[in-house]
Amino acid sequence: MNLEIIGISVLWTFLFGYIMIGSIDFGASFFNAYSLIVEKQHILTKIIQRYLSPVWEVTNVFLVFFFVGIIGFFPKTAFYYGTTLLVPISIGVILLAVRGSYYAFETYGARGHKGYALLYGLSGLLLPASLSIVLTISEGGFITMENGAPVLNYWILFTEPLTWAVVLLSVTAVLYISATFLTWYANQAGDSEATRLMRKYALLWAFPLIITAAGIIVELRGHNPDHYEKLMSLWWMFALSFILFLLTVWFLWKKRNYGSAFILLVIQFALAFFGYGISHYPYLLYPHLTLYDSFTNNAMAISLIVAFILGFCLLVPSLYLLLKLFLFNKQYVSGK
């Protein structure tokens, strides 16, 4: 294993971490807003706030970790992605600001503005949509070089079916992941009404999820045949992922083992996410940038990895403490 692979594996793992815990956060805010509209908020708001408020800043750090890390390990990405993504990422930052300020102003301060909660819920869908555009762009075909500088072609991007397939997948995935997690969390809290509602949402979004996921594979075949070929050679990862998906749905259907259902879901997404990542190798941006021609020098790579290992030793016990207090502590979860 070379340094390039170690670097991208670390980053990809953290991105996966962000996608999972971020999805829980995004989806929860949407369900919260939706329940406000249909006047069911008494069922959900409490559960959501007990879990989300203490951890949202940690969620955000996963994202920061990823983008700081990718500049560290692969500095050339700053040139290609930094130049072209100005608008999409700035919009992402604004959406992040809506979410952060909701926590700051509504839950810590005086709460209760309905419009704000709706905006916050909406940002839960728009943020994954705007961030997922980056994955679409990485497939190539949207960035051209003009006078030696990369330029993003918005017209091609927004008329490309793949773009919308990815956006749809990101939204359905967020809702499905979040609903499944909250089913388990509400069940832990002994709140049967919330459990029933979240289970319903989870089952509702399971089917659209698998349809949009399959849709992406079809669209990719047309857009980037090279990547599609490599994806297909890893068919077993996706097949396994699909089986786990069926198991999760089955548990949800049978109203049992919500905890295992969520763990299976995490593995399901991990398989699909890493399958996608591995088949993307060696490109960071088709066809301009690979892992190898964007990699930093050896001295920096080694010191980053050393810093990562040291940091990780600090992080794991602290994260464990956080989860122990807020996720696995029955008294806290049930609001005592």
Partner 1 sequence: MINEESVFYSRVLTETTLTFHIIYATLGVGVPLMIMIAQWVGIKKNDEHYILLARRWTRGFVITVAVGVVTGTAIGLQLSLLWPNFMELAGHIIALPLFMETFAFFFEAIFLGIYLYTWDRFENQKKHLLLLVPVAIGGSFSAVFITIVNSFMNSPQGFDLVDGKLTNVNPLLAMFNPAMPTKVTHVVVTAYMTAAFVLASIAAFRMLTGSKHVYHKKALFFTMKLGLIFSIATAVIGDFSGKFLAEYQPEKLAAAEWHFETHGEAPLIMWGMLDENNDIKYAIHIPFALSILAHWLPGAVVTGLDQFPEDEIPPLYIHYLFDTMVTIGMGLVVLSLIYWIGVKRGWAFIHSKFFLVLSVLSGPLSMLAIEAGWWLAEVGRQPWILRGIMRTSEAATTNNQVDLMLMLFCGLYIILGIGTIVVMSRMFKRNPVEQELKDREMEKGGVQK
Interface residues with partner 1 (CB under 8 A) are 53-55, 57-58, 60-61, 63-65, 67-69, 71-76, 78-79, 81-87, 89-90, 93-94, 96-97, 100-101, 103-105, 108-110, 147-149, 296-297, 299-300, 303-304, 307-308, 311, 314-315, 318-319, 321-322, 325-326, 332
Q: Which is nearer to partner 1, 107 or 257 (CB)?
A: 107
Q: How far is the CB of 34 from partner 1 (least distance, A)?
A: 24
For residue 115, how many other CB atoms are within 10 A of its CB? 8
Q: How far is the CB of 42 from partner 1 (least distance, A)?
A: 22
Q: Which is nearer to partner 1, 23 or 84 (CB)?
A: 84
Q: How far is the CB of 176 from partner 1 (least distance, A)?
A: 26
Contact 16, 270 (CB under 8 A): yes
Does the CA dihedral 127-170-32-266 come out positive or negative? negative
Q: Which tokens in the block code for residue 296?
A: 């930093």
Query: What gap in Å lies between CA 52 and CA 196, rounded to an integer?
Result: 20
Q: Which is nearer to partner 1, 35 or 84 (CB)?
A: 84
283 - beta bridge partners?
290
User: 3-state SS of 116-182?
Assistant: HHHHHHHHHHHHHHHHHHHHHHHCCCCEEEECCEEEECHHHHHHCHHHHHHHHHHHHHHHHHHHHHH
For residue 90, how many other CB atoms are within 10 A of its CB? 11
Q: How far is the CB of 258 from partner 1 (least distance, A)?
A: 24
Q: Which is nearer to partner 1, 66 or 251 (CB)?
A: 66
Using the 8-state DSSP alphabet, how is residue 79 labeled?
A: I
R_g of the chain computed on alpha carbons: 20
Q: How far is the CB of 89 from partner 1 (least distance, A)?
A: 6
Q: Which tokens in the block code for residue 60?
A: 């955000």
Under DSSP, is residue 285 helix (H, G, I), strand (E, B) or coil? strand
Q: Which is nearer to partner 1, 234 or 319 (CB)?
A: 319
Distances (CA, A) of 72 to 11, 78, 299: 10, 10, 12
Q: How far is the CB of 309 from partner 1 (least distance, A)?
A: 11
Q: Which is nearer to partner 1, 91 or 234 (CB)?
A: 91
**Contact partners, residue 87, CB within 8 Å, separation at least 6:** 152
Q: Which is nearer to partner 1, 156 or 211 (CB)?
A: 156
Query: What gap in Å lies between CA 175 and CA 205, rounded to an integer?
Result: 7
Q: How far is the CB of 4 from partner 1 (least distance, A)?
A: 15
Q: How far is the CB of 292 from partner 1 (least distance, A)?
A: 15
**Contact partners, residue 49, CB within 8 Å, separation at least 6:** 107
Q: Which is nearer to partner 1, 16 or 103 (CB)?
A: 103
